[in-house]
Amino acid sequence: MSLLRLCAFAKCLSRRSLFEKCAVRESVVDCCRLCLSVRNGTVRRISETPLQLQRSNTFVIPKAKDAKKRVLEQSQLLDVLDARIQQLRSDVIIDVQQAKVQFVPSYGRVSSGSGPKSAPHEKADIPKSEQTIGKGISKFHSSHRTEKLTQEKKKKLQKVKNVKEKPVAKSISSKSNSQLLGTTYKKISTTAEKTAPSMKKSKGRVRVSDEIRAAMSSIATTTAATTAAETAATSHKVPKRKLNVLNFKKKDSKNRVPGEKGKKPVVVDVQDRHRELPEAKKQQEERLFQQASQLMSSRPEHLQDRSEESAYGDTQACIRSYLQALVFVGYTERAHRFLLSQHRLMGRRKYLNTDIYNILMRVWAKKGTLNQIGRLFTVLEQANLKPNLGSYCAVLECMGRNPSCSPRAITRCLTRMEEDGLSVDNLFSQFVFRQDERDMVLKAIRTVKPDYQPSPNLTTSQCTSPLVQDYYAQRENHQYPKLNFTKEELQERFKQQLRMERACTVTIDSVETTKPVTENMMKMRELLEKMKAQWEEILLQALKETKMILAKTKSRDYKHNLYPYLCLLENREYVDIMIQSVAKLPPTGEALKILARELGNRVYTKYCVRQKQKNQMVEKLGNIYNAFTDVLAKDTKVYNVLPREHWCKLETEACSGPTLQEDENQWPYVVSLELGTCMVDIIVKNLKINSDILNPAHDRKFIPILYHMYTFRNTRQVGFIKPHPILTQMLQEAMGIKLTFDSFVIPMLCPPVPWTSARFGAYLLTPTKLMRSLDGATQHEVLLDKCQNLDAVLDSLNHLSNCAWRINKTILDIIISIFNDNGCDKLGIPPPMSVAPKIPHFNPHEPTYTSSEIARMKKEMITAKKKCSEMHSLRMDSLYKLSIANYMRDEIFWFPHNMDFRGRTYPCPPHFNHLGSDVTRAILLFAEGKPLGPKGLDWLKIHLVNLTGLKKRSSLQGRLEYANTIMEDILDSADNPLNGKKWWMNADEPWQALSCCMEIANAVRSPNPTQFISHYPVHQDGSCNGLQHYAALGRDVIGATSVNLVPCDEPQDVYSGVAQQVEELRACDAVNGVKIAQVLKGFINRKVVKQTVMTVVYGVTRYGGRLQIEKRLKEIDEFPEEHVWDASHYLVRLVFNGLKEMFTGTREIQDWLTESAKLISKAGHTVEWVTPLGLPIIQPYHRTRTQVLKSTIQRINLQISHDTKERPDTVKQKNAFPPNFIHSLDSTHMMLTALHCYSAGLTFVSVHDCFWTHALTVDAMNKVCREQFVTLHSQPILKELSDFMINKYCRVISDETKKKKCQEYMKLLMVLTRVPSTGDFDLQQVKESTYFFS
């Protein structure tokens, strides 16, 4: 029974009762007026009598003959109805009397008799003064129903007291897809005093949706007939009115912040907590608490950021990506319905933020449909979200596209922007425009402000890190290097790279094509080409059918569908991606999850490239890049600015048109996986082959070329896609002549775009992340977007990327010849699969086999399968690297760089780069050559000795003398690498040694070696760099001496030192009769302990160290295999004990870092810190949760360990913090060295803690390297880390913290405050240490 009927029914039961109780009657009439206002969508005065009101609502009075009976029944309900009226009056009339609320009318007319269900009434605190309305009103007679209603009302009021005031929304289903939900807003004020000023304030504030509707009316005369009709209908349904905001408090941020409502963190004074400690502990900890109190009182409050992006994770990202896909393919109406369906469902609405609504606003803005934007603003207000820059940009753009838009409407929009704290200048400097959006917005603004000019967004912010303040402020002596190319040459290279990235794929010749072509190879190639053509047509038809089925699938609007993702590209492009994946499958198969992810990522990459082309970014990118070449080309003037600064300046000057920076996020992992799984399913179900294609004797039948099967990885069952043996055999015998790669796999043909922000840099069109992360992890992107001081980090990445490379053709040809001639394991060139061991097959149920024989054969089969899998993986890896190198043999190329979450840098091309193996490094040379100079030849010889692994403990002079004694072998290796003495093959790094031999031979035989132009990169490697950082942090004299921080005449080899110490302990144990110590006599050397010593500082455990030593012992042929287990256990204990004695300061710092991370993660936080260069770092280790992805082929269990809603993984957090922290320091040292080498005009490249440069500039680079290490560690790194974590994790705790939690908090505070003490080592000695890097 509707509220209207209820009120009318109560008045019509007894006219006598109504007249005797005048006050009650008037209240009821007021209540009915309010109901009519809600139903009819307007506030109007009701002057009818109760009888007229009864007639107007089609209420029929029964005839007199039945009146007596019905009056008796009605009188029994009177008390209940009167009580109900009183309850309703307390809910509604107070609003009318105190707040004078104006209601937002519903879209569409709703009759009183058949209205939809109302939304629940608002819960709000009602003051006592308002709980009794009107004095002298007669009390209704009590009844058990009245008492029941009274109790319900009391319970309701009690619950309301703990709930924040919320607007009431009445959701009414619209008849058309474009109509929105009608929502009624009301506000109950808590005091009369607060209501008046709120009402005064509301008089001057108009809703944005009303402003837009006002603008619509001014445009209606010039718009199309359909748009005019729709606008008129909307204007009729939604009259212009003011929104009475009263005391409604909107959130400050544009998005909702998840968490408990109404609770605020309470700052707890350290001194108050200190008083709760036992008396015995106070004196010991007084100093620590005083220090912590000073820190927390002097620094701003740091809260654990729980942004909506992290809280709602993949769900919100899935909604955004789905909407963007729909919009991209032109399904605007479907996108609009999907957004409204998400909005209608309260359970889904929480995932929506303003940016998601803006996606549709931008679409309607381009269509010039202002009324649709107005509706979306209404929906935005219903969702209790604030418009942001993107929202107002859509409105202004739409107004700019309508020539007849009223200037008054534009002015009102700009005024509302200012009221919301948004400025027009920020709109132009911060918003990411597409196509002509910026021009349209500027056109609208200049309608009311003709002289307006957006303020230039010049990035002149000074870097706040003290490490680089002088670097950016004092540039008088900087000599930024130029590339050895003219401006015209660089522009032509840009065009080549752009063509390659537009195509998204590159097809190159395989190096196996140099093999002699046999008849069988030719036959297999012809068969594969024929089948490939057939498969393309089959897949094309299957894809069309799949899309047709998905398009016709009737699902609710709020559910996702893969259909738009399958429409982003041309059908042929999807087919090409699927065919490529089939050709690259290994014989042992690939996990479905990995294969599906790769397919999905390839589609995403092509989609991003198409998106940039659609947004008209390519032309603008070309114009800016052509001007950018001025700072790099050799035939232009010298600039005293960095490449990033010059690019930003050019982009600011070319402000018109689209913004180059991306505003779209990576697809969620589940979206890529689901799309890829769908494509795999199409392949498996449709691609078939004749069973007799290789053996005509077999019966002909069509069999699938791929099989979906299950296998076990550890204890988990994993879905696998495995090729049929027939397909595998054909691919191996054909030795395909072509290889197809994604464009980002190939090195760039032009200098990369400089990184200017966390979202723009590296490739021209291919999407690239600044910081690599796990699939689906977004914590790093959130931190980077908030960080304002990344200039030094970005500039260092740009300097690494600007190094040009070329191919060493002589070395490449020798390697390819060995690769095609069955390879060579000793030289790191894997053999072909033809020499792989045959996998034995047997029937385990054969009764003639004994159990021991079955076990042995199973073990042999498993071993053979593993060996085959490893051989195929290594062979294909080498094939890809060599084929790419051969493709680039006549080119100059560049490697764009990015970094991992610790700040360590990596080249973006995954296969062929200078971080690869010995083979890959030997192929690479600097494109720019420099004369050797007076000491360059000596550095080449020293570098050659370093590559051999000999003379590790010899001085530089000793190594040089040794090189001079073996010059005959060096020259023989250069002249006859495969037919001579083959001295180079015994080196630790044989291919780099051979390349160096050839460089030395060319230099020696030149007329003047000092003028010989060398392209060879000389390496300077840190001496156990992790221990160097630990020793510097702890100022540990003994540790510093062991890792060459102290000047010495000869280098100190920490690995040899540990091996010597272990040998001494072993000898003592052997004398005492320890059997395993006696067995190890003569087998302990540097190589056995090196890996364990090197990785101890990076968190290796005793278990991991034992495995490392076990592997080294197995490599020694003479060592008895039966003693490997006991020997590895014995040695790992000695190695750890020896390191503990040698590096006492290191162990103390490591323990402090581990304990801090343990307590932080136990408190529910992930470990965060900021590097000395200002790079924010967070460890993305959370407890693993399982998410099941349903697909047609199988259910995929996803193990997600980066979900921020899960608690941190304490074990991973504490074990990873020490090595990750040290990695962040060595990356900082590398970045500082890169910056200063660039300003000095040096060529500089790094492989983590191994720095490369020309032989001419080795001494200069070493000087910079040492100075920057001292500068870095002169900062109070551990103290700053302690301060940061105290402010981050110990500043704010909840007022409901339990005693146990309080104790954990105090323990964490004590640990963080107790920074490890330092020793007496003088850092300045590092500047004189020759062997610090050598």
Active site (annotated) includes residue 515:
no
Relative orientation angle of helices 617-628 and 592-614, to the nearest 10 degrees: 80
Relative orientation angle of helices 389-401 and 437-448, to the nearest 10 degrees: 80
Q: Which of 170, 593, 1090, 1214 is catalytic?
A: 1090
Token look-up 């990785």 returns: 1095
Residue 149: enclosing H or E segment and its boundaries?
helix 144-160
Q: Alpha-carbon distance 520 to 171, whole Å?
A: 72
Residue 157: how many other CB atoms lie within 10 Å: 15
Closest CA to 1051 of 768, 670, 772, 1329: 1329
Q: Alpha-carbon distance 601 to 679, whole Å?
A: 12
Pairing of strands 1292-1293, 1195-1200: unpaired
Beta bridge partners of 1198: 1187
Residues 438/652, Cβ–Cβ less than 8 Å: no
Closest CA to 428 of 403, 407, 449: 449
What is the amino acid identity at position 205?
A: R
User: What values do phi and psi take at 1013, rounded to 5?
Assistant: -85, 115
Residues 676/596, Cβ–Cβ less than 8 Å: yes
Residue 837: how many other CB atoms lie within 10 Å: 12
Q: What share of the chain is helix, strand, coil (3-state, %, to 5)?
A: 55, 10, 35
Q: Alpha-carbon distance 744 to 759, whole Å?
A: 17
Residues 620/471, Cβ–Cβ less than 8 Å: no
Label residues 608-626 b or e (16+ Cβ within 10 Å = b). bbbbbeebebbebbeebbb
What is the amino acid identity at position 222?
A: T
748-754-760 Cα angle (round to 5): 100
Dihedral over alpha carbons 922, 923, 927, 932 (to 10 degrees): 30
Q: Where are the beta strands (DSSP E) in 862-1016?
A: 893-894, 897-899, 905-907, 924-926, 930-931, 1013-1014
What is the amino acid identity at position 275?
A: R
Q: Alpha-carbon distance 452 to 463, whole Å?
A: 31
Give me the DSSP letters along 432-489.
Answer: ---TTHHHHHHHHHHHH-TT--PPP----PPP--TTTHHHHH--TT------SS-HHH
Active site (annotated) includes residue 813:
no
Beta bridge partners of 688: 704
Active site (annotated) includes residue 606:
no
DSSP conformation class of 1323: G
Q: Tell me the three-class secondary structure of 1026-1084, residue by residue.
A: HHHHHHHHHCCHHHHHHCCCCCCCCCCCHHHHHHHHHHHHHHHHHHCCCHHHHHCCCCC
Distance of CA 647 to the CA centre of its chain: 25
Token pair listed for 945:
């000795």
Residues 821/861, Cβ–Cβ less than 8 Å: no
Residue 1110 burial class via C-beta count within 10 angstroms: exposed 0-12, middle 13-18, buried 19 and up: middle
Q: Which of 21, 1021, 1069, 1087 is catalytic?
A: 1021
For the chain, what is the radius of gyration of the CA atoms?
A: 38
User: What values do phi and psi take at 1245, rounded to 5?
Assistant: -140, 150
Residue 766 burial class via C-beta count within 10 angstroms: exposed 0-12, middle 13-18, buried 19 and up: buried
Q: Which of 1036, 1249, 1283, 1288 is catalytic?
A: 1249
Residues 1062/1131, Cβ–Cβ less than 8 Å: yes
Residues with catalytic function? 1021, 1090, 1249
